[in-house]
Amino acid sequence: MLDFKRYKVLTFDCYGTLIDWESGILNALRPLLTAHQIQLADDQILTEYAAIEAELEAGAYRPYRQILEGVVEQFGQRFNFQPEPEETAALPDSIQNWLPFEDTVAALRQLQQQYRLVILSNVDDALFAGSAKHLQVAFDDVITAEQIGSYKPALQNFQVMMQRVGLPQDQILHVAQSVHHDIQPASSLGLSTVWVNRRQSQAGAGATPVAEAEADLTIPDLQTLATLTSSVRR
């Protein structure tokens, strides 16, 4: 078990960890695919999404809005249809409607009583602003891919985060759902990690590429972390 008294800052991935991004992705892409007579199971949509997004993020940096527009365009290429401009914009436009998991807001409020909270997310500042309204918590810092000019799992994103937090890395605990984007790179830098395995009852990796890494702690949801840390006293 982690010594939660040792940490001063919790850093969070946002989408997939705090925000139910898989429901958001599916709600945006299903109507688009149906409109073009493409019938895919939800798992197929998420697997295609994971592969396309990772490929686009690994290239030269461009804003996340453009990454998501590129995802729609790539779906069109893979399944032989040409999306209209409004269809291309539908996925990034939908982010403002993606909602937190049921446990997120209460758990964040509880955790904030003990720790500084920081976001480290593969997103644009403007897109995160829409999500911040749903999260209902004032974070101590919000660090986005737009600010850094690269996407996780790039180590640079975690290095910038550690610089901005301004504390020894053994006082930082990184909390995330994606092994590929977060647990693997954060662990490689010596950061303590918590894997929020929100897909524990489902097969596959969903909207993230398959990856392997050992987190220091695995939990099914954020409320579990809030409960585990509830005895910490400063």
The catalytic residue positions are 13
By C-alpha distance, which of 166, 155, 233 is closest to 188? 155
Nearest to 108 by CA among 10, 42, 23, 206: 10
Token duo for residue 44? 């197929």
Residue count (the chain): 234
Residue 114 backbone phi and psi in degrees, to 5 = -115, -25
Distance CA 107, CA 105 (A): 5
Strand-pair partners of 10: 117, 173
Query: Could you tell me the CA-to-CA distances from 10 to 4, 79, 142, 155, 176 in Å, in that order?
Result: 10, 41, 12, 18, 10
d(CA 229, CA 121): 23
CB burial class (10 A; 0-12, 13-18, 19+) of residue 86? exposed
CA-wise closest residue to 159 among 171, 148, 170: 148
Contact present, 122 and 150 (Cβ < 8 Å): no
